[in-house]
Structure 1
Amino acid sequence: MSAEFRVGTEQLRPRDAVFVYDETDRHLSNIVAVYFADAPGHPPLTREQVLDWVRAGIGHAALFHRRLQRVPMDLDLPYWVPDPALSVREHVVLDRPGTWDDARARIAEITSTRMDLTRPPWEIHVLDRVEGVPAMGGETTIVVLKFHHSVGDGVATRALEHRLFGGAPAPAVRLDEPRTLPAAVRTAAALVTQPARFVAGLRRSRAAQEELRALVEAGTVHEPVALRPATRFNRDIHAELTFHLLPIPLPEVLAAKAAAPQRVTVNDLMLTTISGALAAYLAEHDEVPAGSLAAMVPMSMRGVAEWDSANQLTQMVVDLHTDIADPLDRLAAVEHSASRAKQRHADPVVLRGDRRVETAPALLLRAAGWARAQRRFDDSATVPLCNTTISNVPPVADSLAFCGRPIRRAVGSLPILDGDGLRHLITSQGDEIVIAVTTNAAMMPDPEHYGELLLRSFRELATALLAQDIPAEH
């Protein structure tokens, strides 16, 4: 018999609370994972079947049983508290959208809908009997798992999906009583201790900044370029989100990686691929930027720093070198920039400076989130740090299944936001890598063409790499 799983009250860490304070209707904090399962040979799913599957799995994680409770006037960080009123039916939807285009529209709608944090922050949408999914044979069952970013990051999603879809029995759940009195005492104490902790943290951060300045001057650490030229994708969002997939055969990616003259990662290849496609797309619209573009690339800090937050990602800024035409030269430059960005975020001095968020009072975090939400981009000639997001999560475990249907593909869908209207999420499973692209029709009316440019960019890079191993004819 499975052990009992207790769910109690827990205060959010500052890095997690930021996703609560930063969220607005134009800046969503949704994590959306999308799973594609083979449906041929299986009868249509019923709502009760789906509900039974969900009920059997929600003992795997506390997120399914807790809701957010904010402190009055945000005088302290919010809490996760057990929710005895959980109704699974309110969190689960079964649809039969019909075609892949219909399913894509539903996934886009799910991604761009704000979550209700007065109840446990998760949803499961099942889109059954979908026809025409690229590279999937016959009808497909699509499962969309959505939860709030304050619960965890993309790496945590991999662990959760392994438990949900891996077939392991979930333990029974016991909800503890919400601890309101200790929370109230802690809030009162925080009003006294937080200012001193914040001042001490600010002093440590300033000292680290002085050390960092010396490292930058010595060329040991390289700071990202502060401003990049704004593109059509760096405006305010004026249209609904769209969702698109581009599968690339994994054997081709691995062959290109093996042929590289220097050590490169699969992520380096994908960054270079996206760089080439982005540059080509803008050139076709006579919008070549005056300088190189850059990407925000999440980096897991697991094994690098000891953080006690559920989210353990930092945001690297990687120069995409879109101003370099030759794919091999661009790959070398991107690999160099990515390596420098990783080195920067692993540097002890940078890590000490980044710890200032750990002592920031809740009111300051909320004020910072409000200030970020006020920025408008429609008339900006530049954008801070980066032009697009390129996220790469670990490979998906094999042998996952949903209601007896084997899962063949897992991807993610990133919400777009003002100033960042073109986002990429890269996943791999089986014999393919998939780039999931989210944008909108105002910024990109022809996403299928962008997919063609992505594939062409990769093939040009792979061809150039493989050609190095072919002896020249005399």
Structure 2
Amino acid sequence: MISKRLISTQKRPESGTPMTGRDALNYYFESPKTRAAVIATWVIDAAKTASPIRDQADAQAFVAEFVDVDPMFRRRLRTVPGNLSFPVWIECQVDLSQHVFTSTPDTPDHARYINDKIAALASSQPRFDIPPWAFHFVLDVHGVDGIPEGGMLIITHSHHSAVDGMGVAKLCTQILGSAPRTVSSNAPLVEVPTGLQAAREVPAEIGRFVSAFRTHSRAVRDRRKALDAAGSTAPKPVKRPATRFSRNLPPDMTYDQTPFDLGRIRAIKSGFGDVTVNDVMMTAISLALSDYLRELGELPTESLGTSIPMSTRSMNHNEAGNANQIAVVMLSLHTDIADPLARLRAVHASAEEAKNRGTTQTTQLPTNPLFVAPAPLLAVLSKLMRHPKKNPTTALINTMITNLAYVRDPLEFRGAPMVGVFGPLPTAEGIQLAHCIASYGPTMWLSVTSNRALMPDTGRYISLIRGAVDRLEEAARGIVDESDAGERRLAEVARHTA
């Protein structure tokens, strides 16, 4: 007879929430050259709080107030032997000393201290033996454009397999918003499978993947035939000329950022009619990239291109279980058009076409087969995937641009207002220039990441972006002045013919 004591001491199977196939892409395909970090920096006017963060104990006490609002803060990964099934997020005890850090700039150049710290975080090796998140409080910041004197930064560092940028923005609202914090419910738990249990499921999972692949391929063919019958054609990926930022070099990430008055950007947008704020900023990036490469004598005559993300949260009910709910589309930056106004119009048209294409693909085509691929296949593909050439001659995209708007509701830390948000979009293997546009309140920040060997002078590139915004503002002012002059001429004609 087995004693009750022996039964009680036997290890019970762990339970948790399996990582979804879509989120697992960020887990399996991450490498030192392509980090899947999600970093956001919340800028706090700390002088306006009566209860500032003074040390590590204060910081940990603050974080302890909200670790229950989202399961992400309390879950770490449990892997399955041989990658026979996706890892499982399991509940665990949280040691805040491993997740909460405080620092004060130790150099007179606080901007450089902040930028180097963010670059180091974006390049760091993730840990999954503990929940993959951290909060870094940078205290008593001075002399940095856009950050109030004596300000505090809350740098959030998470992994893309657990949350995406919009997910972090939602957490910010929960943590710093005025509404009572609510605890997110967990998804249904499953037992972490043993290697044998997972192996038994692999044939069925492969069958589902093959079926999804066939269904998706058939739908793509049918859509192409329908377009052909309608006298249209399905767009094909465009091979663009490679630049220095297409090189495949050892990782050495560098980071810089600059704030803009969001009201100013909106005024520029209004001067051009139906374009968007993001169109204005993408065009500023396009102009600055042209200027930077031209100064080096490396600007191609053909247009360069970028990728942009689209949120799919409201498009597809199948996204509900994923931490990542975005689609990525590609478009031309029209760097072959010299006139800033004409370039902005072209960027706007390309962005609209790309977003329409992304919406169609998300809502009308079956799920991408990679999102339902079994774990063993993804693990093998991540090892066998072809890496970009060290010095390629063509590229599908030359840079990446992402954008993120936080809520308009006031956010604050113990009575001190949050006044801005910024953070990096990490570079990827073969795409060594990335931009992140983030807005909150009256301020928009543009962040730039690159490789130190390819862009050692990020400050120069930032100044070119600011100069490009000036040029777009001047062009918008010219349109308004011309419109006003036209109205005055019409009024004069009307007065003389009355």
TM beyond 0.5: yes
Residues 260-271 of structure 1: matches in 2 within 5 Å? 260-261=272-273, 263-271=274-282
Counterpart of 1:229 (choices 238, 241, 244) is 241
Paired AA for residue 130 in structure 1: V
Counterpart of 1:360 (choices 362, 365, 373) is 373
Aligned to 1:328: 341
Q: Could you say what secondary structure the match of 1:468 adopts?
A: helix
Q: Is the 8 A contact 1:56 1:170 kept in 2?
A: no
Counterpart of 1:197 (choices 205, 208, 230) is 208
Kindly provide the CA deviation profile for residues 251-280 of structure 1, in whole angstroms up to 9, marking residues without a partner as x: 22111211214x211111111111111011
Kindly provide the CA deviation profile for residues 113-165 of structure 1, in whole angstroms up to 9, marking residues without a partner as x: 12111211101111111221212331121111011101121111111111112
After TM superposition, give the deviation of residue 430 of structure 1 in Å.
1.9
Residues 46-445 of structure 1: matches in 2 within 5 Å? 46-84=55-93, 86-98=94-106, 99-166=110-177, 168=179, 170=181, 179-180=190-191, 187-215=198-226, 217=228, 218=230, 220=232, 222-238=234-250, 240-261=252-273, 263-306=274-317, 307-308=319-320, 309-347=322-360, 351-372=364-385, 374-383=386-395, 385-445=396-456
After TM superposition, give the deviation of residue 186 of structure 1 in Å.
6.5
* Range that drifts further, 462-471 or 41-50: 41-50
* Range that drifts further, 173-182 or 393-402: 173-182
Q: Is the 8 A contact 1:296 1:317 kept in 2?
A: yes
Q: Is the 8 A contact 1:390 1:423 kept in 2?
A: yes
Q: Is the 8 A contact 2:77 2:131 kept in 1?
A: yes
Kindly provide the CA deviation profile for residues 185-230 of structure 1, in whole angstroms up to 9, marking residues without a partner as x: 8735522311221221111011012123335545656525342211
Kindly provide the CA deviation profile for residues 288-340 of structure 1, in whole angstroms up to 9, marking residues without a partner as x: 11411111101111222222322110111011111111111111111111111
Q: Is the 8 A contact 1:133 1:140 kept in 2?
A: no
Aligned to 1:17: 24
Aligned-residue sequence identity (percent) comes to 31
* Range that drifts further, 316-325 or 243-252: 243-252
Kindly provide the CA deviation profile for residues 72-108 of structure 1, in whole angstroms up to 9, marking residues without a partner as x: 1111222111113x21111111111242221221121
Q: Could you say what secondary structure the match of 2:283 adopts?
A: helix
Distance of aligned partners of 1:398 and 1:240 in 2 relative to their CA distance in 1, 3 Å threshold: farther
Q: Is the 8 A contact 2:242 2:392 kept in 1?
A: yes
Q: Is the 8 A contact 2:315 2:363 kept in 1?
A: no
RMSD after superposition: 2.6
After TM superposition, give the deviation of residue 467 of structure 1 in Å.
1.4
Larger Rg: 2
Distance of aligned partners of 1:175 and 1:277 in 2 relative to their CA distance in 1, 3 Å threshold: closer
After TM superposition, give the deviation of residue 399 of structure 1 in Å.
2.3
Paired AA for residue 389 in structure 2: F
Unmatched 5+ residue regions in structure 1?
Answer: 1-6
Q: Distance in 1 between matches of 2:283 and 2:186?
A: 48
Q: Is the 8 A contact 1:246 1:435 kept in 2?
A: yes
After TM superposition, give the deviation of residue 183 of structure 1 in Å.
7.1
Q: Is the 8 A contact 2:402 2:425 kept in 1?
A: no
Aligned pairs, number: 464
Q: Could you say what secondary structure the match of 1:147 adopts?
A: strand
**Normalization by structure 2: what TM-score?**
0.87
Q: Distance in 2 between matches of 1:87 and 1:221?
A: 56
Q: Could you say what secondary structure the match of 2:300 adopts?
A: coil
Q: Distance in 1 between matches of 2:18 and 2:74?
A: 15
Unmatched 5+ residue regions in structure 2?
Answer: 1-13, 490-498
Distance of aligned partners of 1:111 and 1:426 in 2 relative to their CA distance in 1, 3 Å threshold: same
Q: Is the 8 A contact 1:268 1:334 kept in 2?
A: yes
Q: Distance in 2 between matches of 1:281 and 1:224?
A: 29
Q: Distance in 1 between matches of 2:188 and 2:349?
A: 52
Q: Distance in 2 between matches of 1:123 and 1:91?
A: 4
Distance of aligned partners of 1:367 and 1:228 in 2 relative to their CA distance in 1, 3 Å threshold: farther
Q: Distance in 1 between matches of 2:31 and 2:118?
A: 20
